[in-house]
């Protein structure tokens, strides 16, 4: 029987009882304990944490794996005392990619087919055609072609859009015109009529959607953000929407969540708000991935879905 170990659990959204049940069946020697009541800190070998209170993880000298509930690890990177050299695994699921992809295709087509404008016309009983370009004459550009963004870009290409992608390092993907790095950013934006942000939040990508980058988009472009709220300078986005330079924005993520009641995004006629539910992860799969990674660690095999803390994603 393996020595008893503790998994410190800190998540406002996830169900600790599901974790206890999953681990009891597979790895009964691991106690799942709600932070801060974790018992002996020396026994804490694993942590499943969403935005830990600063320094919380530094108190565990024998920590072996940090499990992130999300695809992003930005909530962990904000901790200046995050222990160095401990693998951080992130939530990667085909179903998450599929859900995010569906969201992107749904809203790209809504923007492209002028649905917000038709809905406004319907309210007033207006029967008025709006000039419609073909998707094949319309360019959709995806910022971030990772586990999720690539699926989104491929699906946009499959429904007929000319598709572009922008990444940090050079990439080639059939059917997607690829750009990379800061030097290519404005060139990518200048050709993008529907901009989709599926980037991770890092110091390089924070505030990347701002007055300068929005001004680089063609007149009347639209925007879909399902990355993180802090990718966007919200005042700059509102100004671009107010002026009509940007025709519509679908926003799933915000700087402050839940979106404050007094936010102008709620009532802006050119904005669609969704409550950070573009993608949905399956809790049981996440628990299975954590169990599998504990087994891999014990067997000396490489872990799955490890983020690169030095890059921040």
User: Which residue has 């050079």 as its token pair?
Assistant: 170
* Catalytic residue from among 171, 245, 268, 276: 276
Interface with ligand NDP (CB under 6 A), residue from 276, 282, 285, 303: 276
**How far is Cα 282 from Cα 86, in angstroms, rounded to an integer?**
25
Nearest to 76 by CA among 44, 47, 36, 33: 47
> With respect to ligand NDP, which residue has the nearer C-beta, 121 or 191?
191
User: Rounded to whole angstroms, what are the CA distances from 58 to 155, 194, 270?
Assistant: 42, 43, 45
In the complex, minimum distance from the CB of residue 149 to ligand NDP, in angstroms, rounded to a whole number: 5
Interface with ligand NDP (CB under 6 A), residue from 7, 241, 279, 287: 279
> With respect to ligand NDP, which residue has the nearer C-beta, 135 or 201?
201
> With respect to ligand NDP, which residue has the nearer C-beta, 128 or 172?
172
> With respect to ligand NDP, which residue has the nearer C-beta, 110 or 168?
168
> CB of 57 within 8 A of CB of 81?
yes
**How far is Cα 212 from Cα 186, in angstroms, rounded to an integer?**
9
Interface with ligand NDP (CB under 6 A), residue from 11, 192, 205, 305: 205
User: Rounded to whole angstroms, what are the CA distances from 144 to 73, 121, 173, 201?
Assistant: 15, 35, 13, 11
User: Which residue has 């530094």 as its token pair?
Assistant: 58
**Taking CB under 6 A as the rule, does residue 148 contact ligand NDP?**
yes
Residues 6+ apart with CB under 8 A from 253: 225, 226, 227, 228, 229, 231, 276, 278
- Pick the stretch among 31-39, 116-124, 128-136, 144-152 that binds ligand NDP (CB under 6 A): 144-152
Is the torsion defined by CA of 53, 56, 57, 58 positive or negative?
positive
- Pick the stretch among 111-119, 154-162, 271-279, 295-303 that binds ligand NDP (CB under 6 A): 271-279
Residues designated catalytic: 228, 276
Which residues of the chain form contacts with ligand NDP (CB under 6 A)? 71-72, 92, 96, 100, 144-149, 166-169, 171, 198-202, 204-205, 226-228, 252-253, 276, 278-279, 313
């Amino acid at each position: 029987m393996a020595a008893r170990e503790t998994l410190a659990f800190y998540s406002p959204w996830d169900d600790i009882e599901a974790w206890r049940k999953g681990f009891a069946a597979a790895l009964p020697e691991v106690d799942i304990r709600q932070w801060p009541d974790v018992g002996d800190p020396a026994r804490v070998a694993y942590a499943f944490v969403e935005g830990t209170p600063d320094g919380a993880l530094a108190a565990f000298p024998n920590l072996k794996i940090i499990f992130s509930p999300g695809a992003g690890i930005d909530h962990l990177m904000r901790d200046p005392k995050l222990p160095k050299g401990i693998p951080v695994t992130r939530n990667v699921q085909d179903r998450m990619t599929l859900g995010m992809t569906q969201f992107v295709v749904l809203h790209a087509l809504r923007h492209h087919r002028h649905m917000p404008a038709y809905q406004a016309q319907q309210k007033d009983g207006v029967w008025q055609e709006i000039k419609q370009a073909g998707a094949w004459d319309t360019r959709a550009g995806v910022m971030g072609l990772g586990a999720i963004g690539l699926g989104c870009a491929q699906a946009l290409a499959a429904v007929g859009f000319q598709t572009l992608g922008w990444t940090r390092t050079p990439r080639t993907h059939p059917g997607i015109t690829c750009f990379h790095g800061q030097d290519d950013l404005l060139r990518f934006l200048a050709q993008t009529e529907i901009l989709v942000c599926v980037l991770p939040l890092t110091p390089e990508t924070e505030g990347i959607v701002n007055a300068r980058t929005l001004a680089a988009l063609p007149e009347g472009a639209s925007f879909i953000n399902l990355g993180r709220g802090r990718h966007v300078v919200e005042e700059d986005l509102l100004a671009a929407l107010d002026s009509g330079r940007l025709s519509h924005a679908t926003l799933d993520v915000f700087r402050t969540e839940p979106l404050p009641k007094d936010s102008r995004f709620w009532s802006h006629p050119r904005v669609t708000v969704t409550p950070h539910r573009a993608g949905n992860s399956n809790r049981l799969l996440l628990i299975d991935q954590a169990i599998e990674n504990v087994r891999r660690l014990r067997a000396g095999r490489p872990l799955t879905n490890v983020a690169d803390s030095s890059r921040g994603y």
